[in-house]
Structure 1
Amino acid sequence: MTVNDKLQADWEPKSDAVQRDQRAAYDEMRERCPVAYSDFLEWSVFRHEDIVRVLMDPDTFSNAASRHLSVPDGMDPPEHTEYRRMIVQYFQPERVDAFEPQCREIAAKRLQSLLGRDELEFIGDFAHWFAVRIQSASLGWPLEMCEPLRLWTQKNHQATFAQDRPAMAEIAKEFEGYVHELLQIRRAAGAQASDDITGSLLRQYVQGRPLRDEEIVSIVRNWTVGEVGTISAALGILVHYLAQHPDLQQQLRTQPSLLPAAIDEILRIYGPLVSNRRITTRPVEIGGRKIAAGERISLIWISANRDGRVFEDPEAYRLDRDPTANLLYGAGIHVCPGAPLARMEMRVAMEEILGHTTRIDPIPERPPTGAVYPGSGFATLPLRVR
């Protein structure tokens, strides 16, 4: 019998009450039951201090929590170290800077096609479209892949929330098929193959051998799931916040140099990524709860970044906070390697959005609808733009 056989659920993460306002629910859990058990997520950790402890102790809290190959997110040292060393090259400043003009062109053209309208449904009309389009562009995928990729991310989200294992397996197989086809095209082209990330991964070595196709699939899938969902959610959160705060909206138009810090602070308040997983390698006590070896743990980023023990007046927008306390991109050996790319993409998108508009307003009679786990932010976001 395991520890879990004796446990009663402390909360229900999939309940309507939680999904109606995830931020408020996680805030409540942080104060009422900072380490909580549920049938859906097993253990969840809500306090900033406890989450940092987990992040800084990968020997006790392993990243190998996935049932499937996950490169490098689901790996521990020393295996993780070698794969990550290979991957971080794709997020070096020169690569990010080289991609910025294309990213800006994608954002500007899309906005130009939309801004003749009085109203936008921002998530569908721009945020999700932009996230899919820039992900395809960064990987070197053809334009005709954007619509299948958009539909794939939606199906993946729905299956994850429902924990529909057969559907999740079929969706994973579908993505695998896309990547295998693109790899075959590049192999067939030989020296004439396009010089993009997908082709480059074919030339990478780990442990003295080329990457296997299943490893490339895993790398690209992890990037895609993380990139599309998080960038889309983040842009919705940012634009919604500015629509609610017109003075800040105008300040950022006139002082765009404030955008990088403003983006990080708004996303601290309204986190675009709900959680990541770990698995215990030994019995441990955290937050007064005893957890056995082999137990799954969810780190609730949104709650940690709103913890008043670390962030005074956590709901307030302030640019004088210690940026190192913000766990927007995690911390420790698994800190997000794609953070430089994500920051550039969000900054460029917001520069273009603010530059192409003079005013962004909410529509009171058509309020936004919230996203559900594993998503954050908004499912729909009607706005008036000028």
Structure 2
Amino acid sequence: MSTRPESDWDPRADAVLQDQVTVYDQMRQRCPVAHSEYMHWSLFRHADVMQVLTDHETFSSAASSHLSVPNGMDPPRHTEYRRIIDRYFTPERIAGFSSACSAIAASLVAKLSKGSEVELMADFAQAFALEMQSAFLGWPKALHEPLRLWIRKNRQATLEGDRAAMADIAFEFDGYIKDMLGTRRKLGVVASPDVTTSLLNERVAGRLLTDDEIVSILRNWTVGELGTMASCVGIIAHYLASHPAVQQLLRNDLSILPAAIDEILRIQAPLIANRRITTKPVTLGGRDLAAGERLSLIWASANRDEVVFKDAATFRLDRDPSQNLLYGAGIHVCPGAPLARLELLAITQELLTQTTNIALVADKPAVNAVYPAGGFSVLPLRID
């Protein structure tokens, strides 16, 4: 039997919602494997998270009752679908998107009103995520605003645990994607040869992917790209504004940007957690868990574990990159990491080269995002 206290903590307490990172740091010290009704068993230490990530037989990814390709699958089923997914993030495909990516980044930064205040999340970061996502997948600009609203509604329903609303929101997204798939099928050989069209021709187990499978793949990419990538931009910009010495270091040497971006996003995570479920009794962090227990892997805490990252809240470029869980680890490591790195490098480089200074606004503090989002929901900055 698992040890199930009524609650070790409340993930929806005001203190957590106001400053997730600080509370997670405290939980890592006080109760590194903690139970709550809302998040079940939360893992805060790097070692415990790594134990789960590297043992997919004990810790299953099939934690959702809904189809999730391939995130919510285990081998051998996961292996079949992952082989398809990985083809869309090869070095050749990423290199082929590089020019368009750079152009989008340059255009977005050029439109920023220099010498004045901007609300970076709504006015810039979300537009960045939408334009990059649409360009990579071949989606029309007309879909930008519906997707922006969809992401907002999805986050709110998830935070409130409103299952009826979540089901309605998922159905709405499915409709957008299925409409696009139907359009591409009608166009046949003259359909744009983009990522979305290509998925129509993918096969698994000797058959074409179903529409539901394609929708699941695109939903996973969209939620990850739009929500998390906007958060990444906000976190990076805020860190540069809050740490002028680091900002100047990067302005002086753009070659260190890739490592610097990963380090900044280690310090403050854009993605808070992922789920797993135990397949058999297991002990984690001194807690005995039964089969069928649900886990939340708290990336935002594991990546700040002082046992692995000395002076964890300090920006350093001499850390072991293999320990950084920004893009996960194990068989479910993020396949889109090369694309994300390309996009973040492009936008950060343009922010530094097209401006002279990025600064906080003294009387307008940033507002932290709340679970399941990371980073900021509102971010006033002065861009010169």
Query: TM-score scaled to structure 1, two decimals?
Result: 0.98
Q: Does 1:209 align with 2:207?
A: yes
TM-fit CA distance, 1:99: 1.1
How many Å separate the matches in 2 of 1:205 and 1:8?
47
Match of 1:199 among 197, 200, 218: 197
Secondary structure class of the residue paired with 2:111:
helix
Counterpart residue number, 1:71: 69
Counterpart residue number, 1:247: 245
Counterpart residue number, 1:293: 291
> How do 1:311-350 residues align onto structure 2 when only pairs under 5 Å count?
311-350=309-348
Secondary structure class of the residue paired with 1:96:
helix
TM-fit CA distance, 1:116: 4.1
Q: Which amino acid aligns with 1:165?
A: R
Counterpart residue number, 1:370: 368
Match of 2:19 among 21, 25, 39: 21
Deviation digits for residues 79-127 of structure 1 (CA, Å, limit 9, x no counterpart): 0001001100111111111112212222222222222461110111111
Counterpart residue number, 1:127: 125
Q: Which amino acid aligns with 2:280?
A: R
Secondary structure class of the residue paired with 2:296:
strand
> How do 1:1-80 residues align onto structure 2 when only pairs under 5 Å count?
3=2, 7-80=5-78
> How do 1:130-209 residues align onto structure 2 when only pairs under 5 Å count?
130-209=128-207
Q: Which amino acid aligns with 1:14?
A: R
Secondary structure class of the residue paired with 1:158:
helix
How many Å separate the matches in 2 of 1:315 and 1:143?
39
Deviation digits for residues 251-272 of structure 1 (CA, Å, limit 9, x no counterpart): 2122111000000111111111
Secondary structure class of the residue paired with 1:43:
strand
Counterpart residue number, 2:83: 85
TM-fit CA distance, 1:3: 4.4
Counterpart residue number, 1:267: 265
How many Å separate the matches in 2 of 1:356 and 1:315?
28
Question: Does 222-231 or 107-116 show the bigger shift?
Answer: 107-116
Secondary structure class of the residue paired with 1:114:
coil
Secondary structure class of the residue paired with 1:278:
strand
How many Å separate the matches in 2 of 1:339 and 1:126?
22
Q: Which amino acid aligns with 2:376?
A: F
> How do 1:216-235 residues align onto structure 2 when only pairs under 5 Å count?
216-235=214-233
Q: Which amino acid aligns with 2:38?
A: F
Q: Which amino acid aligns with 1:178?
A: Y
How many Å separate the matches in 2 of 1:3 and 1:328?
30
> How do 1:350-369 residues align onto structure 2 when only pairs under 5 Å count?
350-369=348-367
Q: Which amino acid aligns with 1:103?
A: C
Contact 2:114 2:383 in 1 (8 A): no
Deviation digits for residues 108-156 of structure 1 (CA, Å, limit 9, x no counterpart): 2222222246111011111111111111111101011111111111111
Secondary structure class of the residue paired with 1:36:
strand
Contact 2:128 2:230 in 1 (8 A): yes
How many Å separate the matches in 2 of 1:116 and 1:243?
15
- How many residues are aligned here? 384
